[in-house]
Structure 1
Amino acid sequence: MAEPLAKYYLLDTNILLHEPLAFLNFQEHHVVIPMVVLEELDAIKDRQKDVSRDARVAIRALEEALKDATPEQILDGVALSRVQGEHHAEGTLSIFPDYQLSQSDAVLSLTENDNRIIQAALELQRNKKPAKIILVTKDINMRLKAKGAGVKQVEDYRTDQLIDDIRYLSKGFYEFEGSFWEKVGAVTSEQSGRDTLHKVPRNLFEQVFQNEYVIDETHEFAAKVVAYDDQQVTLQDLGYERMMGYSAWGVHPKNIYQAMALQALLDPSLDMVILTGPAGSGKTLLALSAALEMIIEQGRYEKIIVTRNTPEIAESIGFLPGTEEEKMAPWLAAITDSLEVLHKNDESMESSLNYIMKKANIQFKSLNFMRGRSIQNAVVLLDEAQNLTASQLKTIITRCGTNTKLVVSGNLAQIDTYYLNALTSGLTYIVERFKDYPGSATVNLNGVVRSSLAQYAEENL
């Protein structure tokens, strides 16, 4: 029986910025880092950008993997099994000396770094026959250039991609066609304190998750999954009308999806709530109103920390005048807009906003604030999360300490980061990773409630 051909994965710089330890995720295969990638990481590591930390982490990890190796061994490949930590890498890591490439033999101009990486892949194709050489990059245009230049296999980095079709992303609720009671047939109900629990057969659901909401088309039933096994599912009856009667800081749900979101936001047992949905579905307004309700009315938390990520923020924030909060203000206008909506009928809206900002201790922070900190007794509102990678979101989630609630919101149809799409976004990643975690809930807010114009644009543009 013939042995399978060896595979060499040549990594672009953006792969190591997307996930600094990516070179450990290729199992038994060989990983090659072009020298120009190290040069780009070196140029990035000292910039005033959020990605500079990822560059430094990648450099340190590569140094750890290659320490004590001779120059000859680094060119030939150093065994990754020697790297400590939780990983399954059994292949090798090598550095490709692309500075030795000759322009006379090159297909593309070597004055551009991307072209040097592509040419390195072509050199490996020639020198490593019949092994498979795969160039891995998140740059769509570079993938096209590489194929045009003759690289036989070019791929995106998909190790952190949990689903193949965004239509399969968990919505956080299960909707029965028609009436729930007609579908369910036999049911066992019991009272547990103030709650009514229904035990229904497990085979009614294709799949089921902890804290998943259950509704029906008749708008007569609304519940939440509190437990399940192979035989049955235990539902906490929330009551459709009761949910539609929820209120937080004067905000009432306009549809059942907003009602589910409010229920999750106000639930003290949930440490994280993920809100997805189109622009205008009410994600930011609901999150802010619930945060104000829990801090000012209920006294459950001490402050609101608002943060978000935008592609340009890392480059521009340092040049804006003022304090960190004043620098962040242009990117967090959605929060101030929502505050104005909540207090538009007040006698003096400006006085109300100033009072609320101080009373709720609302703080605008850049993502860099989250690194190395432990946040206590706070509601953290993370807006525009679709522009974050999985590793960036992990950094933020692990900062949340005692008595902290994290609300993550985003619209997967409005990704502004060049190297991310709906399938590889960190928002998609955590929705899938946390869909069965007892301390979190996800709600996809169907429908645009901002205006008929916004709804038409969302559906037709």
Structure 2
Amino acid sequence: MAKFPLSDLRFYAVDTNVLIHDPNALFKFEEHRVVIPMVVLEELDKLKVGTTALAADARQAVRTLDSLLGAATPAEIMSGVAIIRAGGQALGTISILMPAQQSNLGLQPNSNDNLIINDLLVLKQSTEVADVVLVTKDINMRLKARGAGLSSEDYHNDQLISDMDSLATGYHHVVGSFWEQIEAIEPQRVSGDGYHQMNSATLQAILERKLYVNQFVYDDKEFVCRIYKEVGGLVTIELLNTALLMRQKAWGLAPRDLFQGMAMWLLFDPEIDLVALNGPAGSGKTILALACALEQTMESKDYRRIIATRSTRGLDEEIGFLPGTEAEKMQPWLGAFTDNLEALHAEDFDPGSSADYIGAKVPLQFKSLNFIRGRSFQQAFLIVDEAQNLTPHQIKTIVTRAGEGTKVVCLGNLAQIDTPYLSATSSGLTYMSERFKGFQHGGSISLQGVARSRLAAFAEAHL
């Protein structure tokens, strides 16, 4: 193989799972050289066929590659084609890496991962200065690459936080009295209209952190407020209290703690179009969302229907082998919703009849994520369960389905991620919570505690 010219720029070799995770990843490597191993193209070719979200992401990655390389000659592709950014700027290059003739260098060529690593080791030998870095979401592949003497790293461009301690919870705690601490900085005159305006600097002084709209502040004296808006250095807060939040009812369900009360406040607010609920197993995410959906669909008629979907690896890949219609195929995956429907009516005189009535009267539809792409949902209450298993790109696909008058509620537990290429910091649920932080019509709450049972609470804390 010919020697590459002297350069201090890096070669970034992009693995298939990175292109599936973010089909636009090719534009994220700045001035460096992006290399696509031929094995990656072969894997994309196998994945691109079908109706699954995985196939759609593979097709988009292939189209992006074609848009960058389509007009180039073979010689230009071998040497590197300029990556044209938005606005016409050319920065960095992209090329296809042909398979190297296998030798004793590297790993046994018995898997695609090993073939890619071996090709990159040959590329590394052919360069004089430039470092060769493998970018992959596969932890084991990164370990094998390092063991073989190759630099490797995860894809971090869509990770907005470095650790979970940085994730916004949706609320701030003030020790002692909120008003006493505020008055010590700046005297206040509070009106009786339910809202109060103050200097942003005054509020930030006692919280010692940046504020965002639709976050809550609570103290030890049962005071609660919500950041309503911030304009020109002035912040408007909505005056609430613990008793008010705990008196809320949704389809007969009352919040069990203050954090559930905050979540219900956002779920009931018609001005909030997106709510993200993160919390441990049994913290009440699904039952809260379902109860609020029933209340606003059946009683107040704010929404015409409830749409429930769920991210599950098997569901995302294929549902066609189960018998029946789409709704019938979805039933095994969405047992959490039917279980919570039964729980909401457990105290009825005839719970069985109540469940049958709900099933017949409530416009509750179960949809597969595979068939959400391209649709538009109007006046719907859309609940996305297990959202921690979605990539940022998949989250965008779902949220952009929301039409006029639709509320999207994403539920997830970042401690229970089932996909091998996602972590708590790279999950689509984390990405969405951070991206929508500060959006006037969105909010997120991290629920605490386990309300399911004392056994579940102990297991969550000790197992």
* TM-score, with structure 1 as normaliser: 0.94
Question: Structure 1 residues 61, 412: closer, same or farther in 2, change over 3 A?
Answer: same
Q: 1:40 Cα deviation (Å)?
A: 0.3
Between 197-206 and 355-364, the greater mean CA deviation after superposition: 197-206
CA contact (8 A) 2:106 2:117 kept: no
Name the structure 1 match of 2:348. Answer: 346
Q: Give the Cα–Cα distance (whole angstroms) in 1 for the partners of residues 234 and 128 of structure 2.
A: 56
Q: 1:382 Cα deviation (Å)?
A: 0.5
Runs of 4+ in 1 over 6 A off after TM superposition: 86-89
Say which SS state the counterpart of residue 313 (structure 2) adopts: coil
| Equivalenced residues, count | 452
Say which SS state the counterpart of residue 91 (structure 2) adopts: coil
Question: Structure 1 residues 144, 331: closer, same or farther in 2, change over 3 A?
Answer: same
Name the structure 2 match of 1:252. Answer: 254
Q: Give the Cα–Cα distance (whole angstroms) in 1 for the partners of residues 438 and 88 of structure 2.
A: 24
Name the structure 1 match of 2:93. Answer: 92
Say which SS state the counterpart of residue 80 (structure 1) adopts: strand
Name the structure 2 match of 1:140. Answer: 139
Q: 1:345 Cα deviation (Å)?
A: 1.9
Q: What does residue range 299-448 of structure 1 map to in structure 2 within 5 Å?
A: 299-448=301-450
Q: Give the Cα–Cα distance (whole angstroms) in 2 for the partners of residues 249 and 403 of structure 1.
A: 21
Question: Structure 1 residues 89, 355: closer, same or farther in 2, change over 3 A?
Answer: farther
Q: Give the Cα–Cα distance (whole angstroms) in 2 for the partners of residues 286 and 88 of structure 1.
A: 48
Structure 1 unaligned regions, length at least 5: none
Name the structure 2 match of 1:75. Answer: 78
Name the structure 2 match of 1:14. Answer: 17
Does 2:66 correspond to 1:63?
A: yes
Q: Give the Cα–Cα distance (whole angstroms) in 2 for the partners of residues 212 and 80 of structure 1.
A: 40
The counterpart of 2:236, out of the listed 218, 234, 237, is: 234
CA contact (8 A) 1:24 1:89 kept: no
**Amino acid of the structure 1 residue aligned with 2:41:** L
Name the structure 2 match of 1:109. Answer: 108
The counterpart of 2:160, out of the listed 156, 159, 162, is: 162
RMSD: 1.7
The counterpart of 1:52, out of the listed 36, 55, 59, is: 55
Q: Give the Cα–Cα distance (whole angstroms) in 2 for the partners of residues 428 and 199 of structure 1.
A: 30
Q: Give the Cα–Cα distance (whole angstroms) in 2 for the partners of residues 240 and 353 of structure 1.
A: 32
Question: Structure 1 residues 363, 189: closer, same or farther in 2, change over 3 A?
Answer: farther
Q: Give the Cα–Cα distance (whole angstroms) in 2 for the partners of residues 300 and 179 of structure 1.
A: 37
CA contact (8 A) 1:305 1:379 kept: yes
Does 2:38 correspond to 1:39?
A: no
Question: Structure 1 residues 4, 243: closer, same or farther in 2, change over 3 A?
Answer: farther
Say which SS state the counterpart of residue 359 (structure 2) adopts: helix
Does 2:124 correspond to 1:125?
A: yes
Q: 1:447 Cα deviation (Å)?
A: 1.3
* TM-score, with structure 2 as normaliser: 0.94
**Amino acid of the structure 1 residue aligned with 2:93:** T
Q: What does residue range 134-283 of structure 1 map to in structure 2 within 5 Å?
A: 134-151=133-150, 153-185=151-183, 186-191=186-191, 194-199=193-198, 201-202=202-203, 203-205=205-207, 206-216=209-219, 218-228=220-230, 231-283=233-285
Between 224-233 and 71-80, the greater mean CA deviation after superposition: 224-233
Q: Give the Cα–Cα distance (whole angstroms) in 2 for the partners of residues 146 and 432 of structure 1.
A: 32
Q: 1:358 Cα deviation (Å)?
A: 3.4
Q: Deviations over 1:390-427 (max 9, x none)?
A: 00000111110100000111000000010000010011
Between 202-211 and 395-404, the greater mean CA deviation after superposition: 202-211
Question: Structure 1 residues 87, 146: closer, same or farther in 2, change over 3 A?
Answer: farther
**Amino acid of the structure 2 residue aligned with 1:118:** I
Q: Give the Cα–Cα distance (whole angstroms) in 2 for the partners of residues 370 and 246 of structure 1.
A: 32
Q: Give the Cα–Cα distance (whole angstroms) in 2 for the partners of residues 286 and 208 of structure 1.
A: 26
CA contact (8 A) 1:187 1:198 kept: no
Q: Deviations over 1:233-260 (max 9, x none)?
A: 3211012211111111100011100000
CA contact (8 A) 1:48 1:318 kept: no
Q: Give the Cα–Cα distance (whole angstroms) in 2 for the partners of residues 235 and 167 of structure 1.
A: 25
Q: Give the Cα–Cα distance (whole angstroms) in 2 for the partners of residues 369 and 189 of structure 1.
A: 54
Q: Deviations over 1:135-160 (max 9, x none)?
A: 00000000111111111x10000000
Q: Deviations over 1:350-379 (max 9, x none)?
A: 332232233320000011222101110100
The counterpart of 2:32, out of the listed 29, 34, 39, is: 29
Q: 1:219 Cα deviation (Å)?
A: 4.5
Q: Give the Cα–Cα distance (whole angstroms) in 1 for the partners of residues 189 and 374 of structure 2.
A: 47
Q: Give the Cα–Cα distance (whole angstroms) in 1 for the partners of residues 233 and 60 of structure 2.
A: 46
Q: Deviations over 1:186-242 (max 9, x none)?
A: 4434447x52325252322321001111111x2410110112357543211012211
Q: Give the Cα–Cα distance (whole angstroms) in 2 for the partners of residues 321 and 71 of structure 1.
A: 48
Q: Give the Cα–Cα distance (whole angstroms) in 1 for the partners of residues 170 and 355 of structure 2.
A: 33
Q: Give the Cα–Cα distance (whole angstroms) in 1 for the partners of residues 246 and 317 of structure 2.
A: 43
Q: Give the Cα–Cα distance (whole angstroms) in 1 for the partners of residues 138 and 87 of structure 2.
A: 28
Q: Deviations over 1:164-205 (max 9, x none)?
A: 11111000111111221222214434447x523252523223
> Structure 1 vs Structure 2: percent identity of aligned residues?
48
Q: Give the Cα–Cα distance (whole angstroms) in 1 for the partners of residues 122 and 163 of structure 2.
A: 35
**Amino acid of the structure 1 residue aligned with 2:69:** L
Between 33-42 and 368-377, the greater mean CA deviation after superposition: 368-377
Q: Give the Cα–Cα distance (whole angstroms) in 2 for the partners of residues 268 and 86 of structure 1.
A: 38
**Amino acid of the structure 2 residue aligned with 1:371:** R
Q: Give the Cα–Cα distance (whole angstroms) in 2 for the partners of residues 88 and 237 of structure 1.
A: 49
Q: Give the Cα–Cα distance (whole angstroms) in 2 for the partners of residues 131 and 385 of structure 1.
A: 39
